[in-house]
Amino acid sequence: MTGSPRPVAADPVSAPRSPARGFPLGTLAYAALVAVAVFLAATTPFSGYVLNILMQAATYAIAVIGLTVVLGLCGQINLAQAAFFGIGAYAVGLGTVDLGISFWLCLPIGLVLALILGAVLGASTLRLGGHYLAMVTISFQQILTLIMINWIPVTHGPDGVPNIKRPGLFTDGQSYLALCVLVLAAVAYAVWRMPKTRLGRAMRAVRDNELAAGVTGIDIYRTKVMAFAIGALLAGLGGGLFAGSFTYISPDQFSFAESVVFLTMALLGGVGSPVGAVIGTGLLILIPEWLRFLKEIPGLYLAIYGLAVILIVVFMPEGIWGFLGDQVKRLRPRKAAPRAQDLTLTQDAATAAPVLEVEGLSKHFGGLKAVDEVSFTVTRGGIHALIGPNGSGKTTTLNVLSGLYTPTGGRLRLNGRDITRFAPHQRAGSGLGRTFQNIRLFRSMSALENVVIGAERPGNGIVAHDRASLEARARAALAFVGLEARADEPISSFSYGHQRLVEIARALAGNPVLLLLDEPAAGLNSSEKVALTALLRRMAAKGLTILIIDHDMTLVSDVASHITVLNFGRRIADGVTATVLREPAVIEAYLGQESTEGPGAGLKTDLAPA
């Protein structure tokens, strides 16, 4: 921009990262763009008609950006956005007209009301999720519409509220439009930055993979409620400004149909970004204006309008900005990654208790005793294997350990602390890390971002939670599994085996007290298995305690010092590796009636699922 050539770094690997260089430049450019837009809004002599369209677009866009947060970032549906929009609008309308309060006081009142109602609605329904959430938000929307129409003494009923006051400095249309544009720009900026914040990352993680988010230490429920409340707040903000734009509001402007319009705008523009929200809002407000000349022929207008929307959605499923943004990203040059540090893992040696104590653990699914009174103890340091034929209850045990299933009976202690009643994110917070049998990564993120979420684990003990420390930690974890060079690539570009490694790095980054690995060798080719064995050894050498499930007996007998064997949900053996592998019950469980050879025969091979 300045015309002076950028200094070429002698060593691109250790060159300072760009935050000091890239980010403020973008922000400055954005600020300049906003200043121009605000200036144009304030000074261009628009006709009253155009002015109305622009004010509607600006205030609607704020509410649609609310959907970017709740639906785009967090993946939760909200079909009551118009109701929250109405709450902000009525706060400004009734406040300035009936109560004679200043606009500047009414607006925040509306925001707080929308925020509280959003939080309450979210808190009471987000545990349900999916279709229920959609149903409940629709009901909320309908109830609010009924209140606006029928509570006549307060809301003025269907007649609506006329003569709404604008704030002192912004009484004429031009300056008020400038105010709306300024607020829109600020909101768009905040939401644009959001995905890279801790809360934003948590929201994306919940959207991408709830189970994985929970076991990585994210409070799923709290994250969803926050997203929902922020979405409602932005709708309230848009609504408050909307009331001032038209100085007249009525219930039909905040009906369910409008909620659908908001949703369509978000999906059309691209729900993943505030830019999409602005594009979608602009288009849906402008297309009807462009098609005005068709109004002579009844029906044709609606048909073309509907067709245009369908075509866009079909050919750009990620919305218009989702489509354009991808092209832009492809053009952007890749930054050189800084050199990764060595990964530190600290073990809490203060407590003498074993790392994990499992006592009489049971998990029944109806009549099926998937896990039946299983007890074992994992001591500090080294690798403990949990083995058994397919369907013997290994994964179920791990799911109970990490809190995804509530046990039917039994107790769990981690570092001497009873965690039996803990939620998954609380167990993660106590130091339990895990990977899944069928890999669960956050699909929309880069490898680095996945691992940053792991590093963010509450109570990890060694990682400062500023962005630079988290990224350095994540790079160190990726370097440990050998993927440092590919840190910034999207998850989809990794092979199956490498995705496994990213998942392990994600857990390692959180400095776990105990790492649970569910069949890490499954689906790997033989050279990948060799590499995995080496990785397991290096982790153990760092003093990490690992509980591993695997079918591959070569791998298990190579790395594990201790083995617990399950069969039909019951513990059939437990002890030092060499001894356990010789026990007749174990050989029987694996080989059935065909075990005519000597003790331990066949166990050195890769056993097929029973």
| Positions in the binding site for Mg ion (CB under 5 A) | 395, 437
Count CB atoms within 10 A of the CB of residue 157. Answer: 15
Both tokens of 233, joined, read: 């707040």
What are the structure tokens assigned to 600, written together? 């331990």
Sheet strand arrangement including 368-378: 368-378, 356-365, 409-414, 417-418
For helices 48-67 and 256-269, angle between their N-to-C axes, nearest 10 degrees:
80
Q: Is position 391 an interface residue for ligand ADP (rule: CB under 6 A)?
A: yes
96-104, 138-146, 383-391, 522-530 -> range binding ligand ADP (CB under 6 A): 383-391
Rounded distance between C-alpha atoms, residue 110 and residue 125, angstroms? 22
Q: Does 370 bind ligand ADP (CB under 6 A)?
A: yes
280 binds ligand ADP (CB under 6 A): no
Work out which of 195, 393, 407, 429 binds ligand ADP, going by CB under 6 A. Answer: 393
Among ligand ADP, Mg ion, none, what binds residue 55 when CB lies within 5 to 8 Å by partner kind? none
Hey, what are 299's tokens? 């029906």
* CA–CA gap between residue 386 and residue 327 (Å, rounded): 47
Question: Judged by CB under 6 A, does residue 403 bind ligand ADP?
Answer: no
Which range of residues in 364-372, 501-509, 584-592, 598-606 is near ligand ADP by CB under 6 A? 364-372
> CB atoms < 10 A from the CB of 15, how many?
14
Shortest distance in whole angstroms from residue 120 CB to Mg ion: 40
Smaller CB distance to ligand ADP: residue 463 or 603? Answer: 603
Contact of residue 392 among ligand ADP, Mg ion, none (CB under 5-8 Å per partner type): ligand ADP
| Interacting partner of 365 out of ligand ADP, Mg ion, none (Cβ under 5 to 8 A depending on kind) | ligand ADP
Residue 535 CB, nearest approach to ligand ADP (Å):
22
Is there a contact between 479 and 343 (Cβ–Cβ < 8 Å)?
yes
What residues contact 327, with CB distance under 8 A and at least 6 apart? none
Interface residue with ligand ADP among 66, 110, 244, 388 (CB under 6 A) is 388
Give 347's strand partners: none
Is residue 523 a contact point for ligand ADP (CB under 6 A)?
no
Give, as ranges, the residues between 32 and 51 that touch ligand ADP (CB under 6 A).
none
Output the smallest distance, CB 393 to ligand ADP, in A.
4
The CA distance from 230 to 191, in Å, is 10
Name which of 537, 542, 583, 543 is nearest 560 in CA terms. Answer: 537
Of these partners, ligand ADP, Mg ion, none, which one is at the site of residue 18 (CB under 5 to 8 Å by kind)? none
CA distance 121 to 229: 9
Does 567 engage in binding with ligand ADP (CB under 6 A)?
A: no
CA atoms within 13 A on the CB side of 172: 9
Closest to Mg ion by CB, 280 vs 393, is: 393
Choose among Mg ion, ligand ADP, none what residue 388 binds, the Cβ cut-off being 5 to 8 Å by kind: ligand ADP
493 near ligand ADP, judged by CB under 6 A? no
Residue 533: which of 500, 507, 556 has the closest Cα? 556
SS3 (DSSP) at 416: coil
Q: Nearer Cβ to ligand ADP, position 323 or 405?
A: 405
What the block records as the tokens of 309 is: 């929307």
Q: How far is the CB of 525 from ligand ADP (least distance, A)?
A: 22
Residue 457 near ligand ADP by CB under 6 A: no
Span interacting with ligand ADP, options 12-20, 151-159, 389-397, 500-508, rule CB under 6 A: 389-397
For 506-566, the DSSP string reads HHHHT--SEEEEE-TTTT--HHHHHHHHHHHHHHHHTT-EEEEE-SBHHHHHHH-SEEEEE
Cα 508 to Cα 517: distance, rounded to the nearest angstrom: 11
In whole angstroms, give the CA distance from residue 240 to residue 58: 12
Nearest distance in Å: CB 516, ligand ADP? 12
Least distance in angstroms from the C-beta of 605 to ligand ADP: 19
Candidates 204, 394, 475, 506: give the one binding ligand ADP (CB under 6 A): 394
DSSP code at position 410: E
Asked whether 66 and 234 are in contact (CB, 8 A), the reply is yes
Please give the size of the binding site for ligand ADP, defined by CB under 6 A. Answer: 11
Only one of the segments 75-83, 123-131, 365-373, 407-415 lies at the binding site for ligand ADP (rule: CB under 6 A); that segment is 365-373
Instruction: In angstroms, give the least distance from the CB of 522 to ligand ADP.
Output: 10
Shortest spacing between CB 394 and ligand ADP, in angstroms: 3
In the bound complex, which residue of the shown chain has the CB atom lying closest to Mg ion? 395
For the bound state, the minimum distance from the C-beta of residue 407 to ligand ADP, rounded and expressed in Å, comes to 13
Cα–Cα distance between 115 and 506 in angstroms, integer? 34
**Does 395 help bind ligand ADP (rule: CB under 6 A)?**
yes
Euclidean distance between the first and final Cα of the chain, in Å?
65
CB 561 within 8 A of CB 384: yes
Q: For ligand ADP, which is the closer residue by CB, 384 or 475?
A: 384
Residue 468 lies near ligand ADP (rule: CB under 6 A): no
Residues in contact with ligand ADP by CB under 6 A are 365, 368, 370, 388, 390-396
